[in-house]
Structure 1
Amino acid sequence: MLLLLSDLHLGRGSRDETRAAERDAVAMLRAHESAVLEGGALVLMGDVYDQFIEYRHLVPKSAPRLVGLLAEWADRGAEIVYVVGNRDPWHVGFFEDDIGVRLTTDWETCRDGRTLYIAHGDGRIPAERLSHRLQPILRAPLMARLYRMGLPGDAGYALARWTARAFGTDGAPDLEVVAELAQVAHERLAQTDADVVAFGHCHAPALEATPDGTYLNPGYWFGDRTFARIDIDGPALFRWTDGAATPLDALA
């Protein structure tokens, strides 16, 4: 089984809101612990943090409970893949070297006879042309290094936090982005051998079957507590509510 979790945005809102989102995420992960540890995998699909800039000896402190669980699982041999998003790509080595999590910008794998393509989804659509053009510059190792050299830890993180709040949104889905991201997924299904294409980013859960395969989006954990699973029966969407996973179609 693959467990997919996207857009936790830890650090968004008040400290209490972040702690609630983190604690619910840890509870949900614990509920799926045996399935992940016994041959499954956890995929974090980007924007785990609302803003993230790692320094050589410093990392943001927004998610100590989640980080502790990831380290425990990695020590027990779990496969954990962290697909970085538009708000958390500036890693150095903490997650890979100290925890044992695989970091990547996208991930292709085969599970239960299905070919899967998984990415965060940012920078792929006409509605975000500026983001697409700036992405190679902002993610370039040299630019990240200059940023770290020019601004010490607290100042650098404070600027990243201010930028995220000043130019970010309230988290509500942009319908244009939702539609265009789905179209990109449908095109990839038609043009490649992928059976499932999974994106996050747009904060809208989706499970759309097409003649070429399935588009899956786990949705916006911070605001809606939704997530996805892919097992031998195929992809499915859930919401974590009242301490349990409830199928999203049942809630609808």
Structure 2
Amino acid sequence: MNIPEGKKIYFSSDNHLGAPTHNESRPREQKFLRWLDEIRPDAHAIFLLGDLFDFWFEYRTVVPKGFVRTLGKLAEFRDSGIEIHFFVGNHDLWMSGYFEDELGIPVYHEPKVFTINDKKFFLGHGDGLGPGDKGYKRMKKIFKGRFFQWVFRWGHPDIGMRIAQYFSVKNKLISGNDDHIFLGEENEWLATYAKRKLETEHYDYFVFGHRHLPMTIKVAEQSTYFNIGDWIHHYTYGVFDGETFEIKEFEVSKEEK
């Protein structure tokens, strides 16, 4: 991917629309939509790195109710020629064609490498990577399995949504053992994961979400791990201008936070 002159690439993650309730997350959605409008003039592409929704499951003819303004805005961007790439997170991993068919947005279920202006990016949500959290990793394999999805799909959507709401908030086996506390550069497990990947191949940037904490950690002399934070507490995002990657904060008033 080459960035045209005057354009940039943007990265966002962890909106968790729907959490803890639809009404309480609507103000966060409005901030996110304002950000999209603000970056639109110079956005060449946008990478959404997971957990846009706090829960998402595609039935054969039904998708979760709500947040049509976000979906409409993404469709509007695509129709205007702006690329959008979506990586599923641990809360919205059950995507199976709706974004591709309705919005023209490719969806990735595993980390993926992109070369942008000769810089090598390793991108993903970040859940299940690195050492530890074995319970979540086992459960993730089950949830991603076709049999589990087939069984879940046979339940009424209203029941399925209530079950998912409970697990999303209460159960660490769904959300992962992640308390959103900075562990220190030597103990951050996604930084450890990045260092291990560098043993076999060079990457300029590792960019993840999931941790909900804006982070910049050098993992090698010519390689950096970024976590781009969230749209719940930090309102942060990543931006690459073709030469430099940085994390920025979207300005919101104290009353809005």
Deviation digits for residues 55-81 of structure 1 (CA, Å, limit 9, x no counterpart): 111111232111000111112222111
The one-letter code sitting in structure 2 at the alignment partner of 1:87 is H
Match of 1:216 in 2: 226
In 2, the alpha carbon distance for the partners of 1:190 and 1:30 equals 40
**Compared CA separation, residues 212 and 134, structure 1 to 2 (3 A):** farther
What's the secondary structure of 2:50's corresponding residue?
Answer: coil
Query: Quick one: distance in 2 between partners of 1:165 and 1:142?
Result: 24
SS at match of 1:48: coil
1:167 positional shift: 1.5
The 4+ residue runs of structure 1 with deviation greater than 4 A are none
Report what 2:77 is aligned to. Answer: 73
Is 2:14 the partner of 1:10?
no
Q: Which amino acid aligns with 1:148?
A: R
Which residue identity does 2:125 align to in structure 1?
A: H
Name the residue aligned to 2:115.
110
Give, in whole Å, the separation in 2 of the partners of 1:237 and 1:16. 28
Structure 2 vs 1, CA of residues 16 and 224 (structure 1 numbering), >3 Å: closer, same or farther? Answer: farther
**Aligned match for 2:251, one of 222, 238, 241:** 241
Q: Report the identity percentage.
A: 28
Q: Which stretch shifts more, 187-196 or 221-230?
A: 187-196
Q: What is the deviation of 1:13?
A: 2.1
- Change in Cα spacing, 1:163 to 1:196, as seen in structure 2 (3 Å) is same
Q: How does 1:73-222 map to 2 (within 5 A)?
A: 73-105=77-109, 106-149=111-154, 151-167=155-171, 173-176=180-183, 179-209=188-218, 210-222=220-232
TM-score (norm 1): 0.88
Q: Which amino acid aligns with 1:159?
A: I
Deviation (angstroms), 1:126? 3.0
Task: Return the offset for 1:174.
Answer: 3.5
> Residue type matched to 1:26 in 2?
L
- What is the SS of the residue equivalent to 1:191? coil
Kept in 1: contact 2:121–2:203 (CA 8 A): yes
SS of match in other structure, 1:221: coil
Deviates more, 1:87-96 or 1:13-22: 13-22
What is the identity, as a one-letter code, of the residue corresponding to 1:59?
V
> How many angstroms does 1:161 deviate by?
0.9
* Partner residue of 2:26 out of 5, 15, 19: 19
Give the SS at the match of 1:29. helix
TM-score (norm 2): 0.86
Structure 2: which 5+ runs fail to align? Answer: 1-7
- Structure 1 unaligned spans of 5+: 244-252
> What is the letter of the counterpart of residue 10 of structure 1?
L
The residue matched to 1:222 in structure 2 has which SS?
A: coil
RMSD: 2.1
Secondary structure of 1:157's aligned partner: helix
Letter in 2 for 1:211: E
Aligned to 1:248: none
* Structure 1 residues 149-187: Cα deviation after superposition (integer angstroms, max 9, x where no partner): 1x1111111111111122257x85144597112211233
How much does 1:20 deviate? 1.1
- Larger helix proportion, structure 1 or 2? 1
* Number of aligned positions between the proteins: 239
Q: Which amino acid aligns with 2:81?
A: G
1:54 counterpart residue number? 58
Structure 2 residue identity aligned to 1:81: H
